[in-house]
Chains A and B, each alone.
Chain A
């Protein structure tokens, strides 16, 4: 135990004396979460639109009011014909145009149906489809109210579970937490063993009688501790700035984070054990861990729509399981009985990575 304490002390000295890295590791999570949180947001506010109201009756006015009151749209022009709409797209930078047909009110009351035409600027597919959904939601709300007034037809009530405001924060914050934890924990720990190899200190360590597992544990714990500080900072920002809820128990969330840090740090060591230099380790971490974490964790791109190969491949990376678990805990308020399988998978991964690193550590050929 004395040896382990000494190794830990040494690792902490390395971390504390390397002021630039320390500052980076502590400031990076905060900077990243703010950066990602504010930039990767799919919520659109005040999109410019124009409305061609060919009816100009009370119902069409009511619909336009609904659209403007939603907060999603800002009507910048009321063109008189479709040619003007075209000009609005080109000159006024509108993203969407709505055409209300003539005799809107009459059609609704007599035929119980009316066709709204929506014209999209699809040069940005994401924006277009999001705005389209907003229009649908607004029109649906309007229809419901209209039907209630006229006591006619059917109505649909949709109940939004877990994310009543359809806020993208719910999607992104867990992903950002994952990315940052992987970046800090795995990158730092992957460099550390490689550095000892590069400078030759690993040879000095290996010929001492110290147990290999002590070397490994001595490497994992300090980087877990450092990234734990970062994780707490991210969680605080997520809750205070981005209004991310923590519906599950905070203890459960912290335990989950600690286990994921263990898995990430072990993955880092695994990379370290197959690299000879720090540059190798960094490249392998970026390409072999960070990139798959971004692409295959289900954080940016839904896994279900990927080819089977990638869906299977995604299982190998710890991030997928962590994102599933952290979403359950933070959003659904799940407890240990709901997410024990994810925790088990992460723990088994950590153990496998550590065992593999151990076998690679003292390779004598």
Chain B
């Protein structure tokens, strides 16, 4: 059964900026669903609509059989929300924040200790510290505790790991996996493509449109090109030179490496590309074949399918 059914949802700000365009997808009960896209793609707007804080211009949303637009009060009872920016009271201590939201949700900490325990264990040593004085990772863990304090059926996490160090990010995802055991459906957005692989399914969003929904493994299987990587000292000249590259390929910087996906027969394309590089006096190390990541998939879809 679907936990959330979203049909043809659109939202624009001031009639001009179309933040969300005709979005349709559904989230299955109990899955960890990722919403992946760059900053400004419309993730937060979609989250605000799903969490009943914003009305869409058009479209329908059903959450566990309830209408999100008309029956928003009932929906608020069953959702937990972790906003993209730190939204707890910085002058209240960790314990006071948790107590406050427990009472606001007509719940109690003791009642739902089983759910929040793995997180609470990590932050309880700091329970008398002011929330504003916590580190980024700790803040998010506290916010997650507050969002889970009433045992929601659907949990929305808007970029929970943005601004969080890599170790805390990994811990945070481990926690999300443990939350699944309680049958909570998790919808999480992230601009980090590497995190997307930890979701059961992901929806890629670009300029307010959903450009693909699948499991991370299927996205990678469906990667059309042949992907190679190499390092170059002079990325800027390389970028310029690629303008005149005659091959059907997709080239982009990827961290400190360069990724290139070939869409021609690789047996002829690779030697042609190496010749192109030496013709243009471009230094490079060995060009190696690699398996595509979710980010490569996203770039391929944006460049080859979505833009045409």
Give the contacts of A159-218 with B (CB-CB under 8 A).
Answer: 199-201, 203-210
Closest B residue to A5 using CB positions: B103
A interface residues with partner B (beta carbon < 8 Å) = 2-3, 6, 10, 13-14, 17-18, 199-201, 203-210, 364-365
Tell me the minimal C-beta distance from A108 to chain B in angstroms.
77
Residues 64-90 of B at the A interface (beta carbon under 8 Å): 72-73, 76-77, 79, 81, 83, 85-90
Stretch at the interface among B28-36, B49-57, B199-207, B253-261: B49-57
Contact B85 A200 (CB under 8 A): yes
Partner of B83, one of A3, A10, A13, A203: A203
B-chain residues with CB within 8 Å of residue A18 when the two chains form the complex: 91
B residues in contact (CB < 8 Å) with A: 51-55, 72-73, 76-77, 79, 81, 83, 85-92, 96, 99-101, 103-106, 146
Taking CB atoms, residues of chain A closer than 8 Å to B52 are 207, 364
Tell me which of B51, B86, B88, B99 contacts A207 (CB under 8 A): B51
User: Which chain A residues border B105 with CB–CB below 8 Å?
Assistant: 208-209
Q: List 25 A-B contacts (CB under 8 A).
A: A2-B106, A3-B106, A6-B99, A6-B100, A10-B89, A10-B96, A13-B91, A14-B89, A199-B90, A200-B83, A200-B87, A201-B88, A201-B89, A203-B81, A204-B83, A204-B101, A204-B146, A206-B76, A207-B51, A208-B101, A208-B104, A208-B105, A209-B104, A209-B106, A365-B55
Chain B residue at smallest Cβ distance from A215: B104
What A residues does B77 contact at CB under 8 A?
209
How long is the Cα–Cα vector from A201 to B97 in the complex, in angstroms? 11
Given contacts A17-B91, A199-B87, A200-B87, contact A3 B54 (CB under 8 A): no
Q: Given A3-B104, A6-B100, A209-B73, are A204 and B91 neighbors across the interface (CB < 8 Å)?
A: no
Cβ contacts under 8 Å, A365 to chain B: 54-55
A199-B87, A201-B88 in contact; A207/B100 too (CB < 8 A)? no
Q: How far is the CB of A191 from chain B (nearest CB, A)?
A: 14
Does the CB pair A207–B79 fall under 8 Å? yes
Tell me the complex Cα distance, A2–B53, Å: 25
* Chain B residues positioned under 8 Å from A210 (CB to CB): 104
Please, which residue of chain B has its CB at the minimum distance from the CB of A201?
A: B87
**Most chain A beta-carbon neighbours within 10 Å: one of B51, B83, B90, B104:** B104
